[in-house]
Structure 1
Amino acid sequence: MTRTRLGSLLVGLVGLALFATPVAAQPSTTAGLINSLNGKLLYVAVPVTLFVEIMLIYAVLKFRNNDEPAPTRENRRLEVTWTVATAIILLFVGVASYGVLANPDVTYTGAEEIEPSEGDVHVKTVAYQWNWRMNYQTANITELTADDIDTAVVPQAEGVEGPVIVVPQGQDLYFTTASEDVIHGFSVPALGLKQDAIPGQTNTIKTVAKETGVYQGYCTEYCGVAHSKMYFTVIVVDQGTYDEFVDSQTGSSDSSGSSSASLAAPTRLGA
């Protein structure tokens, strides 16, 4: 195989692999950032992988009957080229990764006091063996489960079991994790969310949900015999449905003598 044919084959395979990469709608800003980074890294990994594999196959086929191989000659130009190419690839990977990891929707480094803007939602998720308590810090809603939700308001809750978080589309969402006993893990894979829940410590992740729907959440740290049953559900609805949902929940709280909190009220993580 000549160098021209080999180069043409390599370019063709790379183009086919990159063209065949699917582009799907991103359900959240966090998932979009992570998937975008994965795509960029794939654009680097595919050509390198194909190049190595083609060179390997070429060497095997060309020298398979060579019983007296000659020593490889030193080629400084090739070594310099290979070293520079590797450095460029690593620099690209580092810069691309840092740009995503430094984004607050992937690594939130906010202060201990969160002050959501109007319409934003802050939910504190408290893990324990073996369940979750979902407490809204920006509304008077605590320990919400599917049984507490009026399916006439949020029809997506029909048939859902266990703890539930209902959030609006297009608003900043803050999820603070905490644990009462051992290490747990708060994770919603489809939304790109994952954060450990550590005893005596609170951690916060932030995102913006872009697509309405029902998203399954899990505990991702083995925490005991019922670990596999520690699931929960995140339901993303439009703003109008969310406002109606909050009114229905806080209205029932008001009737029992509790006062509802403003959706924009600032709270501390320890609450």
Structure 2
Amino acid sequence: MGSRRRPIVALVAAAFASLVALTGTVVAQSENRELIDGLEYQLLYVALPLTLFVLVILVYAAIKFHDNDDPEPTTEDPSLEITWTVATAIILLFVGLSGYSVLVNPYVSPSQALESDNRSQEGFESFGDLPDTGDEEVHVTGYQWEWQADYPGANVTTENEIVIPADENITLWLTSDDVIHSLFVSELGIKQDAFPGRYTRARTIVSEPGRYNAVCAEFCGAGHSRMKTDVVVVESETYDQWLEANEGNVTEAPEPN
């Protein structure tokens, strides 16, 4: 094999290995994560053959014409141009429809419920004014540089720990006491901004009890990198017992089963 061909073949092999590695199956722990991962895999399964096709054509052209001292322009081919234009349009349409189906899902864009009912998120003056969602609700307040969670049904408060029950629809209402913050739980596919004077909604259902790391994803000052919390998911029975035992207190989260 010529010295010029080796880097090209190595590039194709590396690209193929990287793309295949990306298709590895990871069990989603929440409805949000499952939706996002499903979209990524759909797009990847389309992108993978297209990428390999382009690489094969690139390698073919590089090998066949690398020593052409008298190159000529490609002849016009209307049929070919129409074909790749239509193919590109179909791919973009598929990407758009796939992305739209996920973006309008109530677990990914839960705040649309407020907008569809013509209720501005800026029209509420406190957590008590928020509409009933029918979910288990937790009120989360961000401030420099911590998170506080309040559980309105039992008047329980936790700091830098957000406790939710497994296998139940959960609504996290978020706001901020000072600047813009953003609650980001990568493993659960949750990311929602918290604005001063506004109330935003994150919605999820988590299948696996455990501790999940959460961070602030919006630069909020000198302590931004330290603004971390744990989302603690416990069995529903454990959650109810914990709320009942700590009513009216600032307390710590129970350990997941």
For normalisation by structure 1, the TM-score amounts to: 0.76
Cα separation, 2, equivalents of 1:25 and 1:227: 30
Runs of 4+ in 1 over 4 A off after TM superposition: 13-20
Give the AA of the match of 1:37.
L
Correspondence 1:53-68 to 2 at 5 A? 53-68=55-70
Q: Distance in 2 between matches of 1:106 and 1:182?
A: 24
Do structure 1's residue 208 and structure 2's residue 208 form an aligned pair?
Answer: no
- How many residues are aligned here? 221
Q: Distance in 2 between matches of 1:19 and 1:127?
A: 37
Aligned to 1:195: 192
> d(CA) in 1 for partners of 2:216 and 2:237?
30
Q: Secondary structure at the match of 1:83?
A: helix
Q: Quick check: 1:25 aligned with 2:9?
A: no
Same amino acid, percent of matched pairs = 42
What's the RMSD between the two structures over aligned residues? 2.2
- Matches of 2:152 and 2:94, distance apart in 1: 40
Unaligned runs of 5+ in 1: 1-9, 146-162, 255-271
Specify which of 210, 219, 226 is matched with residue 229 of structure 1.
226
CA distance in structure 2 between the partners assigned to 1:44 and 1:202 by the alignment: 38
Deviation at 1:126, TM superposition (A): 0.9
1:158 equivalent in structure 2: none
Q: What SS does the aligned partner of 1:114 have?
A: coil
Partners of 1:132 and 1:18 in 2: how far apart? 39
The CA deviation at 1:138 is 3.2
* Equivalent position SS for 1:195: strand
Cα separation, 2, equivalents of 1:20 and 1:33: 17
Separation in 2, partners of 1:73, 1:197: 57
Aligned-partner residue type, residue 172 of structure 2: F
Which sections of structure 2, spanning at least 5 residues, go unmatched? 1-11, 120-129, 250-257
1:114 alignment partner in structure 2: 131
Q: Is the 8 A contact 1:183 1:223 kept in 2?
A: yes
Letter in 2 for 1:122: E
Instruction: Report the residue type matching 1:67 in the other structure.
Output: D
Task: Encode CA deviations 1:135-156: one digit per residue, 9 max, x unaligned.
Answer: 12333112x13xxxxxxxxxxx
Q: 2:154·2:244 contact (CA, 8 Å) conserved in 1?
A: no
Contact 1:164–1:235 (CA<8 Å) still a contact in 2?
A: yes
Please tell me the residue identity of whatever aligns with 1:246. Answer: L
**Aligned positions of 1:96-135 closer than 5 A:** 96-108=98-110, 109-111=112-114, 113-117=130-134, 120-135=135-150
Provide the rounded CA distance (Å) in 2 between the counterparts of 1:172 and 1:122.
9
Summarize deviations over 1:147-175 as a string: whole Å, max 9, x none. Answer: xxxxxxxxxxxxxxxx1111111111111
Which of the numbers 38, 44, 47 marks the counterpart of 1:45? 47
Query: C-alpha separation between the residues in 2 aligned to 1:189 and 1:122?
Result: 20
Higher relative contact order (CA 8 A, sep 6+): 1
Partner of 1:186: 183
Structure 2 counterpart of 1:38, one-letter code? E
Quick one: distance in 1 between partners of 2:18 and 2:178? 50
Give SS of 2:156's match: coil
Structure 1 residues 225-234 or 239-248, which shifts more? 239-248
CA contact (8 A) 2:214 2:231 kept: yes
Query: What CA distance in whole angstroms lies between the structure 2 residues aligned with 1:201 and 1:141?
Result: 22
* 1:177 aligned partner: 174
The residue identity in structure 2 corresponding to 1:125 is V
Measure the CA separation in 2 of the matches of 1:54 and 1:46: 12
Q: For 1:186 and 1:68, locate their aligned partners in 2 and report how far apart those are by CA, in whole Å.
A: 59
Distance 1:86 1:187 in 2: 34
